[in-house]
Every structure is written in C-alpha cells, then in structure tokens.
Structure 1
Amino acid sequence: MSYDPPRPAGRLLLTPEDKDAPARTSRLRRLGLGVWPEPALDAFADRLAQLAQAPYAMVNFPDGERQFFAGLHTPPGGREARGGKPEIGRTLPRDHGYCPHVVVRRKALVLEDVNDYPRFAGNPVVDAYGVRSYLGAPLIDSTGMALGTVCVADLAPRAWGRTGLDTIKATAADLAGRLERRNADGSFL
C-alpha cells in the first residue's frame, strides 16, 4: 500500500492513497448518494450516536478530495458541549479524520485513544475538534466497493471493546444493504 507524503506538521500524519476514489464517486452518484445531506441518514446517525453513547456519529462518503457527511450527529449545546471546540460540518478535507483509513483498508478501525497511536495522534481533528477516540467500519456494497463509512467519535478516550466493534461492523453491513435497496422515493431506512 502506498501513502501520500506526510504533511510537515511536527507529528506523523499519513493519509493513505485512495486509488478507488474515482470509481467510488461514480458509484455513489449512480446510487444518488454523497452530494447532499440525507434526512434518513441524519436519523441513522442520531440512532448510532445514541446506541454508542457517543457525541458524534457520521455516515461518510469520501471522494478524492474531501469527505462528505450525508448523515451527521453532533452534540447539542454549542462549544461548551464540544469542550470549547467548533462544530464538525458536513465536509472535511480528505486528510482530516480516520474514515479515509477505513475506506482504503476496507476494515474497521478502533482507536480508543488516538494519542496512543503516533500515526493518528497528529490528525487535524485532534487539535481542531478535540477528537480523542474513534470507531468506524466500511460500507461495503454488493460489488465489493467501499462506498464510505459509518463511525462514531468522542472527545474523551473510550474503551469501545468487542461489543462496540461488533456493533459498528453490523451497523455498517446493514446500512450498506439498505443503501443499495433504496426506493424510488429516496427512502431506504
């Protein structure tokens, strides 16, 4: 696997090269996904956040340049609820966060404390948003393509454990199937 060169930031940061991004973007467009927020995916993210008891939950469709959160749950209550940090919006650059790693690896990623992993501790979401733990799984469709991810994140270290890993993987598999069975009216949940 090759990687983009690290960004000069004083800390190790390697964002994996995503050779499937053009094909993924095309597949997402055929499915009508990854362009605008989806109320059903926002509701999905709300349920996922509640299930994981996490302040952030996302359904993320990355392309070659950015990540797009078609489903997003953020904590209510302004900066105080986010430890004084700004709110995560619908898009992030590709080198922010951990979903690009999940998509390229095509495997779930568990980071109970991102500071325990030099490769991930320098990620911009740590300083910009205060993210300290992450749990994500790829959305693999019937063609075998990783369309994106479902993930949760917290501002504190979290012991996600085996239960968390099993839950995020099952949730991703279920949603991937629903995305492909999308109804003519756009509903799938």
Structure 2
Amino acid sequence: MTYDPVGRMMMTPVDNEAPQRVSRLRSLGLGEQPDPEFDHFADELARITGAPYAMVNFIDENRQFFAGLHTPGGTLTGSEAAAAVAATAEPGREMARDHGYCPHVVVRRKALVLEDVCDYPRFAGNPVVDEIGIRSYLGAPLIDRTGTALGTICVVDVEPRPWGRPGLETIKSMAAELIDLIHRREDGLV
C-alpha cells in the first residue's frame, strides 16, 4: 500500500482478494507470460478506442503483468520490451502494483474513467504520470464466472481524452468479450 507523503492519502488500495486471484490465475494458466491472443486483443482495443496504449493486465499481490500489450511502437516481447522501457519509458510487460490505476479497478470491481488524471489528486500523484507521462485512463475489471476479479483491460493516453459514456460502454463490452474468451479456453472450446 502506497501513501501520498504530503496528503497522507492512500494511493494504492488494500487488496484482500489477491491470494484468491493468484490461485485462480494459476489454475487458468494466466498472468505469467505474454499471450499472442491477448496481444491481438490489446491491438484491437487500441484500434477501437484510438488510444496509443492498451493492456490485458493480470494482478497479483506485488505486481501487474501485461499478458496482452499494445504500444505505439507495436507489441514487444522479452528483451525488446526491457530495452524499450529503458530507452523510451514505454511500459514493459510488468509493473509494480502501486503504479497505475488497474489495482483500483480490481479492488473496486468497477470500470474507471479518468479523462485527465491531473483532475483527481488521488490519481495525479501516481508514478505513471511522471515516469511514463500518462494523462488519461479507461479500464474495466475482468470478473470471471467464479466472481474473481482476475485483472483488467485498459487503455491509456499521454494526452487528456474525453472518453465519456461511449468509452465506458466500449471498455465494459470489451471486458465481457475477453472474459468470454477466457471461459471458452477453460472449457476447452478454443
């Protein structure tokens, strides 16, 4: 849990469901390696929303793992991702749990729309603002048939974005689509 040192505002929410989530992710074989199908999903999510970054994100107790990732430079894997992060401050496949906004979405179990993160003191001080230049966020939880919030899908931009109601409906619809894919995989239908 991270606190803002000036305002003493909790920056990263307490996540009591993390152990259950990790167990469920392991049983599904998710959250440990990039997935080409999730990369394709992230590419499509970026295309639909017009966002430069899109992720399929699974969250454990300590970190976030982008099993699907779209960046302006294209999908990166392995050492390419590490080199890109070092050279350009683009996100790699992993991020600390206290970075970004997806941990809030998982704990709240609701979509989150931040058209300009700087309009929200709780979110403006997040490390991704300074380290990557994130200014807007749109994310939805991936809640599976067991009721477990596995992670999120999200899009981010380095400019403020008027996501509005259409953006919210899009991200929620796409989250439902990805959960359906995860369930079909679990059932052996794909």
- What TM-score do you get using the length of structure 1 for normalisation? 0.88
Q: Is the 8 A contact 1:54 1:152 kept in 2?
A: yes
Question: 1:57-96 residue pairs with structure 2 within 5 A?
Answer: 57-76=54-73, 85-96=88-99
2:107 corresponds to 1:107:
no
Runs of at least 5 residues in structure 1 that lack an aligned partner in the other structure: none
Q: Report the structure, 1 or 2, having the larger helix content.
A: 2
The root-mean-square deviation of aligned C-alpha atoms, in Å, is 2.2
Q: For residue 150 of structure 1, what is the aligned residue in structure 2?
A: 153
Structure 2 unaligned spans of 5+: 75-84
User: Equivalences for 1:18-37 in 2 at 5 Å?
Assistant: 18-37=15-34
Other-structure match for 2:78? none
How far does the alpha carbon of each residue in 1:105-154 deviate from its partner, in whole angstroms, 9 at most, with x for none?
00000000000000000000000000000000000101111110000000
Change (3 A) 1:32 1:92: same
Opposite residue 111 of structure 2, the aligned amino acid is: A
Q: For 2:88 and 2:120, how far apart are their aligned partners in 1?
A: 22
Q: Is the 8 A contact 2:2 2:98 kept in 1?
A: no
Cα displacement (A) at 1:8:
2.9
How many residue pairs match? The answer is 179
Q: 3-state SS of the aligned residue for 2:22? A: helix
Q: In structure 1, what is the Cα distance between the partners aligned to 2:150 and 2:29?
A: 12
CA distance in 2, matches of 1:10, 1:20: 27
Q: 1:171 aligns with which of 143, 166, 174?
A: 174
Are the aligned partners of 1:31 and 1:180 in contact in 2 as well (CA < 8 Å)?
Answer: no
Q: Judging changes above 3 Å, is the alpha-carbon distance between structure 1 residues 9 and 178 closer, same or farther for their aligned structure 2 residues?
A: farther
TM-score, normalised to structure 2's length?
A: 0.88
Q: Which residue of 1 aligns with 2:52?
A: 55
Structure 1 stretch displaced more, 40-49 or 13-22: 13-22
CA distance 1:173–1:184, shift in 2 (3 Å): closer
Give the aligned partner of residue 77 of structure 2.
none
